[in-house]
Structures are given as structure tokens and as C-alpha cells.
A = this chain, B = another copy of it.
């Protein structure tokens, strides 16, 4: 690509934002000027890019007409405050927070629904979905016509890095306290996360679901173009620093051909299928730091020929967030660069 693009990354100091900046470099994304932004308290820090240290500036003072593409990798409130301003300035955007209306900013996972871009127009507004939805979409999209899914039940054991750097630090601190037999006072999480599992990665609504569970279900239906798919989702927090583990149980409307599923997964883009007998992928041992979603333990039901069970491991910050956003941007500029630049 000869032409380059002026870009903003909002939330550049977070775990996802830093990975995103690093991927723009690694993947030789055609970056012209790169503007690193963050909300108030993080402005002033610096982040390395192509051997230079770039100063992070306050997003509130940024003029979005300087860029043609913005990644929103800060929290929901930052997206809510500044996404409209970016769009009004003609800037296309990819939001990673899930704050935008899915009708206005639909979810894109290039391995699952690349055709989405055909029916949108500039300035583009896209959502890079939750890390669990990215992983599930990569695995399920290539199986869709083979395994007509009627119902999926997902338990996502999320890494503490899904709650940012404070989550990581708190797990390390709690673990060290416990190993040294010191009394534990939970700080960032509401209780002990070290050597324990927390049943909900967020605050439940009146019906008991957390926002991430609703988000995952909605995103998955959209990504797979299966509006009637029934999704049971539980998003728990595990004492793992990086890498999500997902147990998926799927009910098909027909008998599942497990061998055919294995063949599809072995060829699926963005998926690393661990197929050796008895072997299986783990978040830390396989997925972390990698660009693929790892899948294994492919098996039918114990008593139901219409069932498919899978185990998925994925790097939540990289493949589940930063990389999916960058891949989405790559797809956008590959086919629609002229529209973005107008």
C-alpha cells in the first residue's frame, strides 16, 4: 500500500491500547501521523512506536479532523463522550468498548463477517466485539452451514487483564500475600481472586446478567447472522493474568458430523486447531501472544448426537481486542480506502 493514513488511538496507555500500537508497527500498517490519546489522567505518558516515544495527549483537546481513522480502546464512557465528535469530523472509527449502538456500529470479525463492510458507508463506525465474541465467531463461523446451531452455552473464564492493568496487579499482589501467609485485603476486586474464581466479571442487572454477557450474546448473533440463536453466557473471572478460556456446548438442529467439524477447523482462518489425540490448548501455554484462536477438545455429546462441545483459548488483549481491531482496519483500507479518505 503506497498511501498512508493519519490515525488516532484513544486509550493508548491501557493493556489493549498498547498492544494495538505495537501491532500497527509489527504488521506494517500504513500509518501516516499517529496520534496517541487518553482521557485526562493518562495524558502526558509516552508510548513507544517504531523506535520513537510518542507523547500521549488528552483526547478532550483533540481535533478529530486531523485523522481519518480512530481506534477507541479506552472505556465505554470515553467512547460515549468522543465517538460522535470523531464521526462528525468525518473520521471513521473502530470502537473496542462496546458502548455504541450495534445498529449504528455493527460488530466486525474479519474471519466471520467481512461482507458487513459492503453495506456500510463512510465515515465507518465499527465495533470490535468483546474478546469472547471474537474467539467464538472465529471458531463458529466456518462451522455455520455444517452445524446449524440452535443453541450455544458458553462459560468464559476471563483473565484478570480483561479488567486492565489494575486487574493484573491485583492478582499478583493477592497471590504474593497469600503465598507469604499474610492476611488478604481485597482492593481492586470485591473479594479474593487469587486461587479462586469470581462468578461474574461485572455488576449484574435486575435480571442477574452482567453487561458483558448480554454484549457477548448480541454480538455473536450478529457476527454469525443467526438472529434466532439462543445464547446462554456466563462470564466469570479466573486467577489467570492473560488469556481467556471458553467452554462451549452447542446444540445443532441436526446430527453433528464430528470428523467434518475437525476438518473445517483445521482449515479455518485465524484458528489453530489442536487435534492430536489427548492434547488440548490452554490460554497461557498456547494462546497468549499469538494471533490465532486456539481450539481443541472437539467432541460430540455424551448422549445427544446433535451436540458439539469445544474448548477455546484466546489472547483476550491481542486476538480478542487489539488484533481484531487492526485486522478490521486492514480490511477497511484494503477495499474502501478511497471512501475513508474522502
Contacts and interface: CB of A to CB of B under 8 A. Distances in A.
Contacts of A249: 153, 232, 234
A113 interface: no
Q: A196, A203, A285, A301 — which one has the most chain B CB atoms within 10 A of its CB?
A: A196
Interface stretch (A27-35, A304-312, A323-331): A304-312
A204 B278 contact: yes
B297 A204 contact: yes
Contact of A191 (B155, B243, B285, B298): B285
Contact of A209 (B155, B230, B251, B299): B299
Contacts of A298: 208
A282 interface: yes
A200 interface: yes
A200 B282 CA distance: 10
B179 A284 contact: no
A217 interface: yes
Contact of A192 (B153, B204, B284, B304): B284
Given A199-B245, A232-B249, A280-B200, A192 B285 contact: yes
Contact of A234 (B231, B232, B297): B297
Contacts of A282: 191-192, 196-199
Contacts of A260: none
A41 interface: no
A243 B199 CA distance: 13
A311 B298 CA distance: 25
A302 B232 contact: yes
Interface in A44-66: none
B208 A297 contact: yes
Interface in A67-124: none
A284 B203 contact: no
A234 B195 contact: no
Contacts of A233: 302
A293 interface: no
A320 interface: no
A26 interface: no
Contact of A241 (B191, B195, B247): B195
Given A176-B179, A301-B230, A309-B234, A284 B195 contact: yes
B301 A232 contact: yes
A11 interface: no
A131 interface: no
Contact of A311 (B176, B199, B301): B199
7 contacts: A176-B179, A191-B285, A196-B282, A196-B285, A200-B280, A230-B307, A236-B245
Given A204-B277, A230-B307, A234-B311, 8 more contacts: A175-B179, A196-B283, A199-B245, A199-B247, A204-B297, A204-B299, A208-B309, A232-B307
Closest 3 interchain pairs by CB?
A208-B299, A196-B284, A155-B155
